[in-house]
Every structure is written in C-alpha cells, then in structure tokens.
Amino acid sequence: MSYIQDVKSTVAARNAGQPEFLQAVNEVLDTIRPVIESDPAYERNAILERITEPDRQIIFRVPWTDDSGKMRVNRGFRVQFNNAIGPYKGGLRLHPSVNLSIIKFLGFEQIFKNSLTGLPIGGGKGGSDFDPKGKSDREIRAFCQSFMTELARHIGADTDVPAGDIGVGGREIGFMYGQYKRIKNLYEGVLTGKGIAYGGSLARTEATGYGLVYIVENMLNAHGKSFKGKTAVISGSGNVAIYACQKAQALGAKVVALSDSNGWIYDKNGIDLDVVRQIKEVERGRIKEYADRVKSAEYHDSGKVWQVKCDIALPCATQNEISGDDAALLIKNGVFAVGEGANMPSTPEAIEAFQKAGVLFMPAKAANAGGVSVSALEMSQNSLRLGWTFEEVDERLKGIMKGIFDKTSEAAQKYATPTDYVSGANIAGFVKVAEAMIAQGV
Ligand code: NDP
Ligand code: 2IT
C-alpha cells in the first residue's frame, strides 16, 4: 500500500464516525500526492501521520443559567491542531450542530489556510453546541463567561488565539475577552475580532467577505474576466455573506440572492444591503423580513439559492451546502466562477463537477483566508500597541489575497493543472508547515 493510502486507512480507523474530518483529510491527502511522492523525507519524518493528529483536543463542560433560572449544560471544544509555524489560531463556532468531527475538520483546514496567508499562525478551532438563536443578551453573556472560565487556562496571546466563526461576532468576543482579563489579570491580544475600543483592528469585520471578493477578482482577471456587470448569488446572510455582497457590489456585480437557515430571498433589482444589515446586524432577525420590506423581492422557504441563474456563486453559510446536484444545476444555468467564503461548503461531488465543467473554482482555504489574515494583523497591532487605519489594513489584505492567489496558482501549475486551485492551495499550504515540522524534529 502507498504511504498516502496507508495514512488514510489509519486516520479512517482512528476517527470512525467523524465524516467531516475524514472528508477534509482525504481531500488534502489526495491532492498533495505529487509532493509527497517527490521527497521521501515526508514519509521518513511521519509528516502525514503527525499533521492529521491534533496536538491536543480539549473537551469541557459549559454550565450556565438561563433567564428562567434553569441550569443548562453545553459541551465546549478547543482543538489545538498544529503550531509548527505560529501559535494556534482559528475561530470559535457556536451552533447546535457542533461536534468533535466539525471542530476537527475546521482545525485541520485552518493549518493550511493559515500557512497560505504567509503570516506566523498555526491551526486550531473551537466552539460549542450552544444555540445562540433566540437567547437574550444576558444568556449569551452567561454562556460566554462560563465558556471562557475553562478556555482561559488553555489559551494566551503567544499560545492560542481564538476568534469568531458561525454564531460568534463582536458581542461574544467582548464577553469572552472581559472574562479572560478578569481571570488572568492580563491585558493581551488573546482573542481577535475585538471591538475597536479595546484592541480590535479596523476592517476585521469586513475582512473575510472582502478578501473573498479580492481573490475571486484576481482569479477572474487572470482569465480575462471581472465582477463588473456580472450576476452573483451568495448563500448565508451573516458576517461573511454581508461583506462579500458589499464588495461584490462595489466592484460592479449585481447580487440577487442571499439566505439563512430558514430560507432565501431573490431580488431581481439587486440586494439592498442596508436593509439586510438592519435586519441581521441590528435586529438579529430572519432574512424573510427582507421580502416584507423590499417590494421587488421574493422569499422562498424551500429549495436553495443555487437554483437562481448566475455567473458567480459565493457559498458563505456552512459546510457541504453545495451538493453534486446543486453544482450540476449551477453549471446548467451557466455559472463560470465559484469562490468558497464558508469552510468546505462544496461536497467532493460538487468540486469534481465544477472542475470537470471548467468552472473557475477557488477553494475555502485560499478564498476565505482574509478573515484570519486580518486577525493576524490584529495580533501584530496588539504587539506593537498601535492601531492602523482602515485603508492601511485593507491595502495589506489586498496584498495578502494577491499573494495567496499567486502561490495557489503557481503550485497548481507546477504540480497539477493551471486551474486546479484545490490542489494548488493544499500543496502551497502544506509545504511550508511540513518544512517547519521537519526542521523542528519530532
Ligand atoms: P454567521 O454566524 O455570521 O452567519 C452564518 C450564516 O450562515 C447565517 O446566515 C446562517 O443562517 C447561515 N448558516 C449557518 N449554519 C447554517 C446551516 N447549518 N444551514 C443553513 N444556513 C446556515 O457566520 P459567518 O458569516 O462568520 O460564517 C459563515 C461561514 O464562513 C462559516 O462556514 C465559517 O466557518 C466561514 N468563515 C468565517 C470567517 C469569519 O471571519 N467569520 C472566516 C473564514 C470562514 P442562520 O442565521 O439561520 O443560522
Ligand atoms: O475559519 C476562519 O478562518 C475563521 N473563522 C477566522 C479565524 C480567525 O482566527 O480569525
């Protein structure tokens, strides 16, 4: 059996019942084959066995009290996956679907994404099966304080620096930061995505969505195309979706659809983002309300945004949200570019369909790396005890996304085919981490 096949079997046996984690591992191992086979040092140093096994996995009880006085218990996670090139870095997800498989797939992918940014950050991820929907501010605070009471002993500005992800934005980071400071008596950059008043970076809120559009624009330009005048469809209506929509519109695209977990909206005139932001960022409401407020819009509570005809699709909600059938529908309707704002939003069948059809496909590890990049810039500003302007951070973000596009396409050209950005991103991300691991010994 080949080295890669051998490791895949061991990982599958050791992590039975973790489909998302195995999906992420199999994709990476399958695509880095040309590099692994080109140098026996990877096998000699057991790089694949080591990179697929987290440094540590922390699982803990999170007790809190709801508004009726009832005690509740959730499960908290922090998986510190790999710190070969920097402190563990990655978001915290609060969603009822969270389990070890999901946190491990996210932490594993974060290793390669963070490497691609060119910044000194390792890979980690955490979260809880706590459902923030419908909770009061007090309940959110009680949960966040309890979560941090345990997490605080495992993290630190030079050890592990969490941030936001699904269900974790500025409000939650604020409550967690306050609790960390109280417990440790340390004012340090232990979390990113902080408020501007207490050490946050300008443009962090916008960074993932903007970065996604910047790198997709790089990819389109490389093929003589651009966002200008194109029709785009975006899934989700959270942090990533909102700022992807804003930047795509700024570059001249018409965004006609957005969604949440209850349904989706189609606005033939193009999405009015002020209305979306009022509903989502201010009122914490549902996307359905957009159709109550904007006459040109329709709301659908069945089907998916992928049935809307578009040139460019930007999945920005969650994993495995584009099935093989969804991809076939997008292709039939003429989509020519897909950029993954969410983590692992396309199933393996969807990726295969896009690549076979010649759709330009930018995978998550490259496409959504803008968020963690600006998080790393937030860490730099915290270390310097300085704050850069919005324009300065945004310019750096543009440069970082261009750098990621260049590295990804160079590796694709060298080891796969010129537009196989999936292989390109996995290989470019992997090589740097593996080199650091080999240099540092077992
Ligand atoms: P938010 O919580 O701000 O928004 C998530 C959006 O996706 C909401 O509209 C939500 O709908 C929808 N969604 C979430 N889960 C599901 C589900 N199971 N089924 C259908 N819809 C769902 O999260 P973000 O915008 O921050 O994150 C979106 C994606 O981007 C995630 O995959 C995340 O990992 C990834 N990402 C985020 C980064 C960041 O900086 N925030 C950085 C890089 C990647 P509803 O409100 O109904 O739940
Ligand atoms: O998936 C991701 O890259 C994030 N949720 C952001 C991580 C971070 O540390 O900013």
Domains and their CATH numbers in the chain: 1-53+419-442 (1.10.285.10), 54-190 (3.40.50.10860), 207-357 (3.40.50.720)
Determine the pLDDT at residue 426: 99
Determine the pLDDT at residue 35: 98
Give the pLDDT confidence of 197-242 residue by residue, as tens digits.
999 999 999 999 999 999 999 999 999 999 999 999 999 999 999 9
Is the minimum distance from the CB of 372 to ligand 2 under 6 angstroms?
yes
Is the minimum distance from the CB of 78 to ligand 2 under 6 angstroms?
no
Which amino acid, one-letter code, is at 42? Y
By most ligand atoms within 8 Å of CB, the mutation choice from 245, 318, 326, 393 for ligand 1 is 318
* Overall pTM surpassing 0.85 (yes/no): yes
Q: Give the C-alpha distances (Å, rounded to integers) separating 327 from 201, 262, 440.
A: 36, 21, 42
Determine the pLDDT at residue 333: 98
Is the minimum distance from the CB of 211 to ligand 1 under 6 angstroms?
no
CA 377 to centroid of ligand 1, rounded, Å = 22
**For the chain, which residues score pLDDT lower than 70?**
none
The bound ligand whose nearest atom lies closest to the alpha carbon of 117 is 2
Give the position, in ligand 2's atom list, of the atom nearest the Cα of 109. 1
CA 436 to centroid of ligand 1, rounded, Å = 32
Is the minimum distance from the CB of 408 to ligand 2 under 6 angstroms?
no
Q: Is 303 left (phi over 0), alpha (psi -120 to 50) or beta?
A: left
CA 379 to centroid of ligand 1, rounded, Å = 23
Active-site option among 8, 125, 230, 280: 125
Is the minimum distance from the CB of 235 to ligand 1 under 6 angstroms?
no
Distance, first Cα to last Cα, the chain: 24
By most ligand atoms within 8 Å of CB, the mutation choice from 166, 314, 393 for ligand 1 is 166
> Atom 38 in ligand 1: which residue has the minimum CA distance?
165
CA 90 to centroid of ligand 2, rounded, Å = 5
Determine the pLDDT at residue 164: 98
Q: CA 343, 349, 352, 353 torsion: positive or negative? A: negative
Q: Quick check: is 125 catalytic?
A: yes
> Residue 421 is encoded by which pair of tokens?
């950005």
Is the minimum distance from the CB of 373 to ligand 2 under 6 angstroms?
no
Neighbours of 34 (CB within 10 A): 13
Determine the pLDDT at residue 46: 98
Is the minimum distance from the CB of 192 to ligand 1 under 6 angstroms?
no
Could you tell me if 272 and 297 are in contact, meaning their C-beta atoms sit under 8 angstroms apart? no
Could you tell me if 204 and 374 are in contact, meaning their C-beta atoms sit under 8 angstroms apart? yes
Residues in the chain: 442
Taking alpha carbons only, the member of 345, 337, 307, 334 closest to residue 228 is: 337
Determine the pLDDT at residue 61: 98
Is the minimum distance from the CB of 126 to ligand 1 under 6 angstroms?
no
Neighbours of 279 (CB within 10 A): 20
Q: Give the C-alpha distances (Å, rounded to integers) separating 161 from 41, 122, 156, 173, 426.
A: 31, 10, 6, 12, 23
CA 165 to centroid of ligand 1, rounded, Å = 7
